[in-house]
Amino acid sequence: MNKDLQCNIHKNCPILFIDMLQASKKTLQCAQCVSNKIEEISFIYIPQVTNIEENLFLNNWPPISDNQLRKKIIQLKNENEDVIQKVIDFYDQLTQEIIKIISEKKKEQLIAVEKTLEFKLKIVDQYCKMASLNKINQFLVNESQKYEEIEKALKEQIDSQYNRIDEYTTILQSMIKQYELISKFNIQESTQIKDNVIELVKIINLFPSNNFDVSDEMLSLDNLAVYQKKLDQEYEINKKDNVKIELLINQLDICNKQLSNKINQLDWYLDDYLSSQQILIAKYQIEKAEFTNELQKIQKLSPKDIIYSSQNNSQNYIQAKLNSQGKILIQRIKSGSSYNECYINYVLKPQKKYLFRINLFQSKNNFTFNIGLNQYFNSYFLNNNGMSFQIQQLTQNQNQENQIIDPLAVAKTLEFRVCIQEQLMEYRNYPNYTNVVTLNYKKSINTNGQYYLGIQFTQDYLGDKLEIFDIQELDQFPNN
Q: Do residues 418 and 438 share a domain?
A: yes
Q: Do residues 407 and 319 share a domain?
A: yes
Q: What is the pLDDT of residue 461?
A: 84
Specify if 315 maps to a domain: yes
**Domain stops at, among 248, 264, 299:** 299
Q: What is the pLDDT of residue 279?
A: 60
**Do 4 and 13 meet the contact criterion of CB atoms below 8 Å apart?**
no
Q: Between 409 and 138, where is the model more confident?
A: 138
15-19 and 28-30 as β-strands: parallel, antiparallel, unpaired? antiparallel
Q: What is the pLDDT of residue 254?
A: 66
> If pLDDT is split at 50, 70 and 90, which confidence band does 357 have?
very high
Specify if 479 maps to a domain: no
Q: What is the pLDDT of residue 269?
A: 54
Quote the number of domains for the chain. Answer: 4
Longest dimension (CA), the chain: 146
Q: Do residues 378 and 417 share a domain?
A: yes
Q: What is the pLDDT of residues 127-141, one digit of tens each?
A: 999 998 888 888 888
Specify if 220 maps to a domain: yes
Q: Is the pLDDT of residue 425 over 60?
A: yes
Q: Three-class SS of residue 98? A: helix
Q: Do residues 345 and 466 share a domain?
A: yes
Share of the chain above pLDDT 90, in %: 23
Specify if 69 maps to a domain: no
Q: What is the pLDDT of residue 394?
A: 46
Specify if 125 maps to a domain: yes
Specify if 75 maps to a domain: no
Average the pLDDT over each of 6-10, 220-224, 447-451 and give the range with the smallest value.
Answer: 220-224
Averaged pLDDT score across all residues of the chain: 79
Q: Do residues 293 and 308 share a domain?
A: no
Specify if 255 maps to a domain: yes
> If pLDDT is split at 50, 70 and 90, which confidence band does 406 have?
very low
Q: Do residues 24 and 166 share a domain?
A: no
Q: Do residues 325 and 449 share a domain?
A: yes
Q: Between 376 and 378, where is the model more confident?
A: 376
Mean pLDDT of 317-336: 89
Query: 6: which strand partners?
Result: 14
Q: What is the pLDDT of residues 98-134, one digit of tens each?
A: 999 999 999 999 999 999 999 999 999 999 999 988 8
Q: Is the pLDDT of residue 293 over 60?
A: no
Q: Between 58 and 146, where is the model more confident?
A: 146
**Domain stops at, among 188, 222, 244:** 188
Q: What is the pLDDT of residue 397?
A: 39
> If pLDDT is split at 50, 70 and 90, which confidence band does 417 have?
very high
Q: Do residues 281 and 347 share a domain?
A: no
Q: Is the pLDDT of residue 328 over 50?
A: yes
Q: Please, is 45 exposed, middle or buried when counting C-beta atoms within 10 Å of its C-beta (0-12, 13-18, 19+)?
A: middle
Q: Between 288 and 320, where is the model more confident?
A: 320
Q: What is the pLDDT of residues 15-64, one digit of tens each?
A: 888 888 877 788 888 876 876 564 445 667 676 666 666 667 777 778 88
**Do 466 and 358 meet the contact criterion of CB atoms below 8 Å apart?**
yes
Specify if 245 maps to a domain: yes
117-126, 152-161, 235-244, 437-446, range with greatest mean pLDDT = 117-126
> If pLDDT is split at 50, 70 and 90, which confidence band does 89 have?
very high
Mean pLDDT of 178-186: 89
Q: What is the pLDDT of residue 132?
A: 87
Neighbouring CB atoms inside 10 A of 361's CB total: 21
Average the pLDDT over each of 41-45, 281-285, 336-340 and give the range with the smallest value.
Answer: 281-285
**Domain stops at, among 299, 333, 360:** 299
Domain that holds residue 57: 15-63
Q: What angle do CA 395, 400, 403 make, to 5 degrees?
A: 75
Share of the chain above pLDDT 70, in %: 76
Q: Do residues 290 and 174 share a domain?
A: no
465-474 and 452-457 as β-strands: parallel, antiparallel, unpaired? unpaired
Distance, CA of 313 to CA of 328 (rounded, Å): 21
Q: What is the pLDDT of residues 202-232, one digit of tens each?
A: 878 887 776 666 677 767 777 777 777 777 7
Q: Do residues 162 and 241 share a domain?
A: no
Q: Between 120 and 10, where is the model more confident?
A: 120
Q: What is the pLDDT of residues 236-280, one digit of tens each?
A: 777 777 777 777 777 777 666 666 665 555 555 555 555 555 565
DSSP state of 390: E
CATH code for the domain in which residue 362 is found: 2.60.120.920
CA dist list (Å): 42 to 38, 60, 291 = 11, 6, 50
> If pLDDT is split at 50, 70 and 90, which confidence band does 290 have?
low
Task: Compute the radius of gyration of the chain from its Cα atoms.
Answer: 40
Q: What is the pLDDT of residue 171?
A: 93
Q: Do residues 166 and 260 share a domain?
A: no
**Do 123 and 176 meet the contact criterion of CB atoms below 8 Å apart?**
yes
Q: Is the pLDDT of residue 458 over 80?
A: yes
Q: Do residues 140 and 168 share a domain?
A: yes
Q: What is the pLDDT of residue 117?
A: 94
